[in-house]
Structures are given as structure tokens and as C-alpha cells.
Amino acid sequence: MCKDDTAALTVIGIINRGNNYGKIYKYELLYNCPERQMRLMNKTISMEDIWELYGVRSNPFSTSPILVRGGNLPLECFVGRQEQVKRLARIFGSAGGSRTLVYGDVGMGKTSFVNFVRAHAMMQGFFTPFKEIAILDAWNPDEFVHNTLAGIYSTLKLMRSKPISKAVYSKLAALVEGVTSKTIGGSVAGTGGTYSELKQSPVKLTSYFLQQLFQEIVSDISAKTRHDVIIHYNNLDLMEEAEISQLFNNLRDFLQTPKVHFVIVGSLATHTYIQNMPRLSSILSDTPIHIDEMTLPEVKSIIKKRFEALRISDKLNYIIPFKDECLAALFKLYGGNIRNILNSLSPAALEVTSEKPVILDISSLSKTLKRILGERYLSKLTKKEKEMLLVMVKYEEVTNKELAESTRVARPNVSTYVAKLQKAGCAYLRRKEGKDKFWSVDPRVKWMLLKEITK
Ligand SMILES: Nc1ncnc2c1ncn2[C@@H]1O[C@H](COP(=O)(O)OP(=O)(O)OP(=O)(O)O)[C@@H](O)[C@H]1O
Ligand SMILES: [Mg+2]
């Protein structure tokens, strides 16, 4: 047994926490002691271990969305949004099909909201693919339909009792898994051909075939479940206005398939784009649902519910590593954006915890977050770049032109600094309008404002 095992593990623990990367394999750090190397080669120390000190099984500040099934965070962790939940539930409850846009700023809780309502619909017998379908900006209409079918298939595959006939399921399996015509055989969607024949002439028939198959699946599932089908698309915010217009104009018929509730999630910009497209907005069933910022009591309630849900045992207490004043300060800093609040609490707790639980007050929170910011982000920057960042942090979004005017730095130099800040992860391109690029600082950079806010 090597004497300095504990020391090595502590170092590794700190490195793990410092890097904020979860599991790191220890052998990278071990030297001198073959016995220890052998023993630790296959073992990992996880950042998650520190949460035991707080009486919980895993990170209560995780930023993963609440999932329809199988997530780390149970549905009971969902808080608020009563009005919006009621509206979407009512839309799902009115038979026939619908198209709903759910929109809001990044990290406000859009995915969790739709998942929460879908999970409840599922409990009532609706079929919905578990995982939301993430739209990619390069998709053409056929890829959109194909990926919808793949989403349906991956959930059906997991279900022991499938709400679909064997024949239609095999056809779908053949399409998604790429099986040959032998498996499918027979007639496809009333065309008299097989899938492989259709596949050989995709230009004319693929769209038709895919959409027919989709309709066949929906009729089959809705007959068996006696409910409509719900399909949730995420990430429309990755697409530019022209791409959205082109894609959805070609999908108008598909999106009006009876007995399907389509929910499409996008950003604030997506909402504006769609409002400017009468052909598309006219097929929406209701006014879009806005997911806005949380209230402070809601944020507190989310944290409490997560600790309750993740606690190691009912017989043990849990410890929340922050005083309420920390939540209030972060709430103010981020205007109620729950993702940014969680993304601040998690690294702060990890940074200060080693052998015992710690409860941070506002001054230790602000010191800790500023230290992390300095070490991980600002240390890579030159003095001039830091000065530029200090100016940028005051704006919600800013162009190079505005920065040049307010700092009196020449425009080409501003571009160079901003490009460097972007590369260092301190700034990102928020949106483009014509030739203008609007930049924002990474939410973590706002940690530098914490003290000012609490004054
Ligand atoms: N109503 C809520 N109740 C409890 N937790 C929530 C709620 N809304 C969001 N969260 C939590 O906040 C975090 C961000 O939520 P989510 O991923 O759903 O946001 P989003 O708006 O979909 O983000 P993005 O813009 O990146 O897609 C997640 O950890 C989620 O669990
Ligand atoms: Mg999301």
C-alpha cells in the first residue's frame, strides 16, 4: 500500500473538479508507485462523489432537461408554467391534430415544458416518441420526414407491447434500418411497388412514399391507442429565416396530417421569422406558446425539489450549498434564466467542496465564480482583449461598430479582439441582421458583475 494514496486521490479530485469534465482516468496522473497504478488503473473518481457530502445521489444543479422517460430528474421536479401547461394539454386533448410553436430564449425551459406535457399525455395513453426530434439546419423535407419516422421507430422498438400492426412496423423497420425488399415485400402504401423498388427511383417517389408511410403509421397507432400521436421537434433556432421558410413551405401538407399534434420548439428569433411567413403561420393551430423567465420563488422551488428527489435516503438530511441570497443575486444577474443560474451554482459548489460540505454566502459565491472565470477564461486573454470584454459585458448584444464607437478602438482591431474572445469561449454570435453581427458575452462572463449587483 502506498502512503500517499489519499493525497493522490485528493489531487485527482481537485483536478476533476477544476476541469469540470466529470470522470477522468487516473493513470494519467500516477507515477512512481506501480502497486497503486495497478490498483487504480480501472477505477475512476467522479465529480459526482462530492454530492454524497450534501446528501444527494447526483448533481442537483444539472442542466439536462426533464425527460419524458428515464431522466435523472423525475417529473415531480417540474415547477410552474400552469397556464402554458393547461393550454398545451388542451391542444393535445382536442382530437384531430394541431401545429403549435413553443418559443423562448435559450435555456428558459422550453424542452422541459413540452416533455412534461408529453409525459402526462403518455400516461393517458397517447403515443409520442420519447426523445424529441432535433432538427438540423441542413435537412431537406424528405430528411425531415425520414427523421420523424426514425424517431417513431426508436420508441416503438423499445415498447414491449407495440401500438402498431406487425406489417406496418416491419415496413418502418425496413426503412429505418435499411433492410431489403425481401423483408418488406408486398405493396407499399398502395403504390403496388416494394420499398426497394421505390428506393431505386427516389427522386420521384421518396417524398410520396415517406409521407404515405407516415400516414399509415399514424392511422394504425391512433386506431390502437384511441388517441392522436404527438411529435416534438426541437432546435428550430439553428435555422435561418430563409431555410425555415423553404423547409416548411414544402412540409405544409405533411404538417397537416390528421391525428398528429406537431409541437415545434424555437427561439425568440424563430417566432419573429414565422410571424413574417403568413403561409406558415396560417397553419398554426393557436397563438404560439411563450416560455419566459422563471420567478425567484419558482427557482427556489426547483432547487428544493431536486434535492428532495435526489436525496440519498428519506432518513438522511440534505444540505443545499448556498444561502438564499446567492439565488437572489444569480436570479437578478440572469433575469430568471434557469439554465444560467444552474450553470453558476454547479461549478461554484464543485470548486469549493473537498472533504466536507460548504454553504456559500454571496461574497464567497462571487469570489469563487470570479476565480473560476479568471482561471478558465480570462487567463487566455491579453490586456486589450480583457478590456474589450469588460465593455461587452455591459451590453445584452453589441455590434463591432458600436464597440468601435464606444471604445474608440479602430474597427479592424475590434474585429480581431472579438474574434479572439469568441475563440476563447468568452463571446458568441447571438444573431445576424443583414450584414450586422450582434455579439453577446458568454453567460459565465457575467460573473464579473456579481458584486456590483449585490451592492
Ligand atoms: N419548469 C421547470 N421546472 C423545473 N426545472 C426546469 C423547468 N424548466 C426548465 N427547468 C430546468 O432548467 C434547465 C434548462 O431547461 P431546458 O433544457 O428545458 O431549457 P431550453 O429552453 O429547452 O434550453 P435550450 O434553449 O438550450 O434548448 C434544465 O436543467 C431543466 O431541467
Ligand atoms: Mg431545449
DSSP for 288-343 reads PEE--PPPHHHHHHHHHHHHHHHBS-TTS----SB-HHHHHHHHHHTTT-HHHHHH
From CA 371, how far away is CA 348, in angstroms rounded? 10
Q: Tell me if 153 sits within 8 A of 117, measured CB to CB.
A: no
- 53 alpha carbon – ligand 2 mean position (Å): 30
For the Cβ of 108 lying below 6 angstroms from any atom of ligand 1, the answer is yes
Phi, psi of 101 (to 5 degrees): -100, 130
Cα dihedral 132/138/144/150 (nearest 10): -60
**Percent of the residues in the chain that have a pLDDT greater than 70, as a whole number:** 83
Residue 32 has pLDDT above 70, yes or no: no
336 Cβ below 6 A of ligand 1: no
Average pLDDT, the chain: 82
- Residue to probe by mutation, ligand 1, list 62, 63, 66, most atoms within 8 Å of CB: 66
CA pair distance 422, 193, nearest whole angstrom = 53
Contacts of 419 (CB under 8 A, 6+ apart): none
Name, of 32-36, 234-238, 257-261, 279-283, the range with top average pLDDT: 257-261
146: left (phi over 0), alpha (psi -120 to 50) or beta: alpha
Alpha-carbon span 237 to 271, nearest angstrom: 9
The residue with cell 462530492 is: 50
CB environment 325-340: b (16+ within 10 A), e (fewer) = ebbbbbbebbebbbbb
Identify the band that residue 29 occupies on the pLDDT scale cut at 50, 70 and 90: very low
* pLDDT of res. 100: 95
Report the range of poorest mean pLDDT among 16-30, 175-189, 384-398: 16-30
Considering the domain 379-454, what is its CATH architecture?
Answer: Orthogonal Bundle (1.10)
Between the CA of 229 and the centroid of ligand 1 the distance, in Å, is 24
With a 6 Å cutoff on the Cβ, whether 146 touches ligand 1 is no
Which residues share a beta bridge with 441? 427
pLDDT confidence of residue 7: 37
> What is the pLDDT, as a whole number, of residue 452?
54
Split at pLDDT 50, 70, 90, the class of 389 is: very high
| 326 within 8 A of 341, measured Cβ to Cβ | no
Does residue 99 have its Cβ closer than 6 Å to ligand 1? Answer: no
d(CA 389, ligand 1 centre) in Å: 28
User: Mean per-residue pLDDT for 222-235?
Assistant: 94
Q: How many angstroms is it from 169 CA to the middle of ligand 2? A: 29
Residue that wins the pLDDT comparison between 214 and 268? 214
Distance 78 CA to ligand 1 centre (A): 9
CB crowding 105-131: b at 16 or more within 10 Å, else e? bebbbbbbbbbbbbbbbbeeebbbbbb
pLDDT, residue 231, reads 97
Report whether residue 239 contacts ligand 1, using a CB cutoff of 6 Å: no
Considering the four listed CATH numbers 3.20.20.80, 3.40.50.300, 3.30.70.141, 3.40.50.970, the one that applies to the domain covering 81-290 is 3.40.50.300
d(CA 235, ligand 2 centre) in Å? 7
Confidence (pLDDT) at 337: 93
Q: CA angle, 415 as apex, 412 and 421 as ends, to 5°?
A: 145
Q: How confident is the model at residue 256 (pLDDT cuts 50, 70, 90)?
A: very high
Question: What pLDDT, on a 0 to 100 scale, did the predictor assign at position 432?
Answer: 76
Confidence of residue 46 (pLDDT cuts 50, 70, 90): low
Which ligand has the shortest distance to the CA of 336? 1
On whether the CB atoms of residues 128 and 229 are closer than 8 A, the answer is: yes
Section 211-220 average pLDDT: 94
Name residues with Cβ closer than 5 Å to ligand 2, which is an ion: 111
Distance CA 155, CA 133 (A): 12
Q: Tell me the longest C-alpha to C-alpha distance in the chain.
A: 76
Ranking 19-23, 43-47, 111-115 by mean pLDDT, the lowest is 19-23
More confident site: 321 or 181: 321
Judged against a pLDDT cut of 90, whether residue 110 lies above it is answered with yes
Mutate to test the pocket of ligand 1, among 103, 299, 338 (most ligand atoms within 8 A of CB): 338
Q: Ligand 2 centre from 143 Cα, in Å?
A: 21
Cα–Cα distance for residue pair 160/218, rounded to 1 Å? 19
> Ligand 1 in contact with 115 (CB < 6 A)?
no
Rounded to the nearest angstrom, the distance between the alpha carbon of 274 and the centre of ligand 2 is: 18
Q: Report residue 27 as a C-alpha cell.
A: 493513470
User: Domain residue spans in the chain?
Assistant: 5-45, 81-290, 379-454
The Cα–Cα gap between 396 and 34 comes to 54
- Whole-number Cα distances in Å, 102 to 87, 97, 127, 204: 11, 16, 20, 34
Q: What is the pLDDT of residues 325-375, one digit of tens each?
A: 999 999 999 989 999 999 999 999 999 998 889 999 999 999 999 999 999
Does position 244 have pLDDT exceeding 90, yes or no?
A: no
Atom of ligand 1 nearest to the CA of 106: 25
- Name the grid cell of 51: 454530492
8 Å CB contact between 236 and 244: yes
Across the range 202-212, mean pLDDT stands at: 69
Neighbours of 283 (CB within 10 A): 15
Cα 428 to Cα 434: distance, rounded to the nearest angstrom: 17
Give the model's confidence band at 430: pLDDT under 50 very low, under 70 low, under 90 confident, else very high: confident
Residue 25's pLDDT is: 32
Q: Answer whether 236 contacts ligand 1 (Cβ < 6 A).
A: no
pTM score, whole prediction: 0.81
Task: Tell me the ligand closest to 339's alpha carbon.
Answer: 1
Cell of 436: 450586422
Min mean pLDDT across 39-43, 148-152, 229-233, 304-308 is at 39-43
Instruction: Say what the pLDDT of residue 377 is.
Output: 87
Q: Residue 39: what pLDDT?
A: 42
Nearest to 331 by CA among 371, 295, 292, 370: 295
pLDDT above 50: residue 216: yes
Asked whether 443 lines ligand 1 (CB < 6 A), one says no
Say what the pLDDT of residue 156 is.
95
Task: Give residue 47's pLDDT.
Answer: 56
Say how many Å lie between the CA of residue 286 and the centre of ligand 2. Answer: 21
Whole-number pLDDT of residue 453: 55
Coarse DSSP helix, strand, coil percentages of the chain, rounded to the nearest 5 percent? 55, 10, 35
Instruction: Name which residue sits closest to atom 10 of ligand 1, judged by CA.
Output: 109
